[in-house]
Amino acid sequence: MKLNELTIKEAAEKLAKKEITSVKLIQACLARIKEADRKVRACLAVCEKEALIEAKKADERRKKGEKGILLGIPYLAKDNILTKGVKTTAASKILENYIAPYDATVIKKLRSAGAVLLGKTNLDEFAHGASTENSAFGPTRNPWDISRVPGGSSGGSAAAVAAQMCIFALGTDTGGSIRYPAAFCGVFGLKPTYGRASRFGLISMTSSTDVPGPITKTAEDALIVLKAITGIDKNDPTTIDEQLINSAPILRANKLKGIRIGLPKEYFIDGMDDGVKKTIEKAIEELKKLGAEFKKISLPHAKYGIPVYYIITPSEISSNLARFDGIKYGLSLADGGLIDIYKKTRGQGFGPEAKRRIMLGTYALSAGYYDAYYLKAQKVRTIIKNEMDEALKKVDCLLTPVSPHVAFKIGSKSSDPLKMYLEDIFVTGASLAGLPAASIPCGFARPKDGSEDMPIGLQLIGGRFKEEVLLNIGRIYEEKAERAKRKINMKI
């Protein structure tokens, strides 16, 4: 196995035993980026010089006797997460040359743990999208089939992990933006509970649902990263000092006996691709063999998740993107009066999807429409949240598909915004409710056009601050279930 193909756990063990050095590990990942990213285009920036300096420091720290599971481990970060001294563009022309003056809290925590930043990954502009086609710097491609999307908006991070460019990556999830690309790229993605990890230093999209989280090769690795990035932060008043608590002993014994999993009927809809449906059904049978009990439940208001999300999200986007005005920072087309500067800067700096969401949000918040749209959407959101909370009192988690189909062809849906918004059909509920949710690779299915099989993910949604239940179920499923594990062959 090549060094860049190691998991966090495997790499940490080899570093601790002095079988490898961090410098060699970083060099392997950098070499893979140079080899693979010509076609995948997952990275917007690569910090080769800086990464090697940090790797040498990590090796020196180990020589002095310092220990740490993330010490010297290389990772990539989504480019809407601030990184001091490194460009942070949010994949937008309006921030094309912006260099962050400080680190986001999650980056600061990873630096403290000794993790080494390799660079920044592509995304839909300001995280507005589900395919990573909306980037001002071009789309990222799915490493399993470069004619297909990797999902979004954390598509660059998911594609980089799948293509073995890094040991793990950071993404952000607002309405599925970690889980969706993780499913399309066949890797593990975790959206933590809202408030679990600090949002300070994230370029805000929808402040009431934005959450940073890990994209990894295994569930166990996701827990390692989660432990490193979580905790209360005085710069983010939504963070909560809630400790990660070990799950029930029955899970630690590598069994699922006694675990109750809910199957919401509203998530198993007509129109789902047969291959996806069969793969999810097979995963359910495998979980049953491991001892899990399944219970059919109903979430009658789940169907309102998409309309609610696409009222609240553009409304908060309209407010959050108002700061990019050509005056404070970023692109400034300073020619003429103040209004002219605003119009020129925002007109040329924002892409079509960002403009669309700003206009939709401004309309929903405007006088005469606020009560009819935004206020009503928030009331329905509360109903969705309460409904999911009640269901999770009866079961340990919920199981759903992540997507009704496998990754689609680049350009096949980009001309129809409504189709793209409907891509979030299974993932918005957990975000609106602020619940933890994970995408777990569960197999492969053939696209309708008959081309090569593509990865599929199943989604587990847990109770508030119950990430470890999801991660332990994922870990046991990965270890015990009989499912195809295939290597990506990009022929490059």
- Residues marked active site are found at 78, 153, 177
What's the rounded Cα separation, in Å, for the pair 77 and 384? Answer: 31
Q: Residue 282 is inside which H or E element, if any?
A: helix 274-289
DSSP run (H or E) holding 365: helix 352-365
Written as six digits, the tokens of 491 are 């022929």
DSSP state of 267: G
Label residue 491 left, alpha or beta by phi (over 0 means left) and psi (-120 to 50 means alpha).
left
Neighbours of 270 (CB within 10 A): 5
Where are any strands of DSSP class E within 68-187? 74-78, 116-121, 168-173
Hey, how many other C-beta atoms are within 10 angstroms of the C-beta on 413?
18
Cα separation, 361 vs 317, in Å, equals: 7
Helices (H), 177-238: 179-185, 219-229
Distance, CA of 168 to CA of 231 (rounded, Å): 20
Residues for the chain: how many in total?
A: 492
240's tokens: 């909560």
Q: Are 221 and 214 in contact (CB under 8 A)?
A: yes
Q: How far apart are CA 109 and CA 119, in angstroms?
A: 16
d(CA 398, CA 21): 41
Whole-angstrom CA distances from 70 to 66, 237, 403 are 11, 27, 32
Helix, strand, coil distribution of the chain in percent, nearest 5: 40, 15, 45
Q: What is the rounded distance in angstroms from the CA atom of residue 154 to the CA atom of residue 231?
A: 23
Q: What are phi and psi of 174, to 5 degrees?
A: -110, -40
Report the amino acid identity of residue 122: N
According to DSSP, the residues that pair with 337 across neighbouring strands are: none
- Quick one: tokens of 402? 């992540």
